[in-house]
Amino acid sequence: MTDLRNVIVVGGGTSGWLSATYLASSFKKTGRNIKVTLIESANIPTIGVGEGTFPTIVNTLYEIGLSEKDFLASCDASFKQGALFKNWLHDPQERTHGYYHPFEPPEMPKGIDLSAYWVKRKKAGTMSHDFSHATCVQAQLCDHNLAPKTTETPEFSWLAKYAYHLDAAKLGKVLQKHGTEKLNIEHIFADIEDVNIDNDGYIASITSNEGKTFLADFFVDCTGFRSLLLGKALTVPFVSQSQYLSVDSAVTLQVSYEKDDSPIATHTISTAQEAGWIWDISLQSRRGTGYVYSSKHTTPERAEAVLKAYHNIDADTDISLRHIHFDVGYREKSWYKNCCAIGFSSGFVEPLEATAIAMVEAGVRSLAARFPQHRAAMDIRQQQYNEIFVSRWKNIIDFIKLHYCLSKRKDTAFWQEHTSSKTLPASLKARLEAWKYYGITDGDLPYKYDLFTLASWQYILYGLEFLPDYVESAPLPDTLIDKAFESIQIKGSNAKKQLKNNRDLIQNYL
């Protein structure tokens, strides 16, 4: 049997270059003599919507071999410690509301699980703090836009868990430079026109519009929503999830800071709107914003007006806006034969919890860990991979839907549909039915490959005031629980004295 020796990544941007650099780095570390080539078109612009990331990105960039300081400087990046969800629970005309999903899990002072006691006290009316502020210091850091580390903290290390806000287009360029200069990735510009399939159904080669043919043993499809290899050539079906999540469009706008010393928010701000929500992400030099909406419930023109209103821009003002449309769902198989799709070519859901780049990371990590020695080992490897990713996608759909279905909003047709039990996945419906009576536990989330852990589910459930009838907790004295909750507030007060704000830290760190 002949070993696999050549991998071609088709498509650039963040997904292409992250896949290529991670694979090349992995092959180098494990001593596998496999050549990685990336082929991209010079004529197809990258989508570049993924300006928010997940904490896994920190270790990914470290493993690839980047310098954190160089990355921050080159990608206009800032530190991200979670997300703030505004007006998801109530119609803001009636009542404003907000809650955090921090990256740090709820703290356990002296081993005490505060989440259970918070639920009990909230139900009894004796708890004034929301869940994230009561159980996690990081919510207080976000309130004051404080950084998650100091200038003395080593690269890719933290005092509070973080990810990044970044310019996705610039990240692609940084990875390209690192990949070609440090990891011996061959970079070719070509417009791929044909995919040539052999008698066994594997991809034998790809051909450019100029007639040049490229041979490889394995292909990674990073062609975005086109899914040129996996979807078009290998005809792997797309599994739509629009029956659960109808948000399928976005209009984006980049805005400058009002002043040079304007705060850099250390969290993504996600503000619910009449037919979707607006993201607001703070980079070093600007803010990236966008209205993600359901084309079933509004028009592009109305979406533009809503985004302009968010920025206090007159609806008639002529400004440069960018529109994007996407299909919600995932491929039935992300890996088929000798082709693995990573990024948008594999699947996509609205960017509510920064899953886009996180799923690129997860995809290439899983591929590198299971990359076959030869074709004979490919079937079992891809079976494992696909089982993991179908489960991951289903759990992501459930988790994103959770943000909508617990809302009390009924002010528009969009919110009426998204809070209807008719649009609930059966898996989420069963979970919520169980959690209504008994608080969520680790045992309810047994799949170790899921992106979102128990803490993430707790922050959304309790942030949206979904309180179970019963939670299990040890019979500890109230005075001990009082001190445990008080310790969180004290730690937050101390952190405010010790940590710089996000802008000051970045300026001093670089």
In this predicted model, what pLDDT tens digit does every residue of 87-123 receive, in sequence order? 999 999 999 999 999 999 999 998 888 999 999 999 9
Q: For the CA atoms of the chain, what is the radius of gyration?
A: 23
Tokens (6 digits) for 74: 């080159």
Name the one residue in this structure whose structure tokens are 């909508």: 404
Task: Flag whether 80 is marked binding.
Answer: yes
pLDDT of residue 429: 97
pLDDT score, position 110: 86
What's the whole-number mean pLDDT along residues 387-402? 97
Give yes or no: 80 in active site: yes
What pLDDT score was predicted for residue 224?
95
Mean pLDDT of the chain: 95
Domain-wise residue ranges, the chain: 6-51+167-240+329-395, 249-325
The pLDDT assigned to 446 comes to 73
3-state secondary structure of 230: helix
> Which strands make up the sheet holding 186-189, listed edge to edge?
186-189, 35-40, 6-10, 218-221, 339-341, 335-336
Question: pLDDT tens digit string along 276-296?
Answer: 999 999 999 999 999 999 999
Q: List, for residues 454-473, the tens digit of each pLDDT value.
A: 999 999 999 999 999 988 88
Q: Looking at residue 48, what is its pLDDT?
A: 57
Residue 49 has pLDDT above 80, yes or no: no
| Other Cβ atoms within 10 Å of 96 Cβ, number | 11
User: Residues 367-376: pLDDT tens digits?
Assistant: 999 999 999 9
Q: Residues 442, 445, 450, 452: is their CA dihedral positive or negative? A: negative
pLDDT above 70 for 366: yes
In 3-state terms, what secondary structure has residue 6?
A: strand
With 0-12 / 13-18 / 19 or more C-beta atoms within 10 angstroms meaning exposed / middle / buried, residue 433 is exposed
Residue 44, marked binder? no
Rounded to an integer, the average pLDDT of 140-162 is 96
Query: Which residue reads 């088709």 in tokens?
Result: 10
Any known ligand binding at 39? no
Query: Considering only CA atoms, which of 63, 88, 420 is closest in space to residue 246?
Result: 420
Instruction: Return d(Cα 12, Cα 187) in angstroms, integer.
Output: 10
pLDDT score of 201 more than 70: yes
Q: Which of 80, 149, 337, 401 is catalytic?
A: 80
Region of 76 (left: φ > 0; alpha: ψ -120 to 50; beta: rest) is left
The pLDDT assigned to 471 comes to 87
Concatenated DSSP letters of 386-452: HHHHHHHHHHHHHHHHHHHHT----SSHHHHHHTSGGGS-HHHHHHHHHHHHB---GGG---TT-SS
Beta-carbon contacts of residue 41 (< 8 Å; ≥ 6 apart): 12, 189, 190, 191, 192
Closest CA to 304 of 288, 289, 287: 289
What would the mean pLDDT of 33-38 be, rounded to a whole number?
98
Choosing among 1.20.1740.10, 3.20.20.80, 3.50.50.60, 3.40.50.300, the CATH entry for 6-51+167-240+329-395 is: 3.50.50.60
Token match 């740090």: residue?
Answer: 104
65: left (phi over 0), alpha (psi -120 to 50) or beta: left
The angle at the Cα of 494, spanning 148 to 473, to the nearest 5 degrees, equals: 85
Instruction: Name the pLDDT band for 47 (thresholds 50, 70, 90).
Output: low
**Confidence (pTM):** 0.96
Question: Crossing angle of helices 114-124/454-463, nearest 10°?
Answer: 10
| DSSP bridge pairs for 272 | 277
CB 192 within 8 A of CB 102: no
Q: What is the mean pLDDT of residues 482-493?
A: 95
The answer on pLDDT for 50 being more than 60 is: no
Q: Residue 373 and residue 217: Cα distance in Å, rounded?
A: 11
Pick the closest to residue 241 from 63, 393, 82, 126 (CA basis).
Answer: 393
Q: Does position 161 have pLDDT exceeding 70, yes or no?
A: yes
pLDDT at site 316: 84
Q: Are strands 335-336 and 339-341 parallel, antiparallel or unpaired?
A: antiparallel
H or E stretch covering 384? helix 378-405
d(CA 204, CA 166): 37
Average pLDDT over residues 335-345: 98
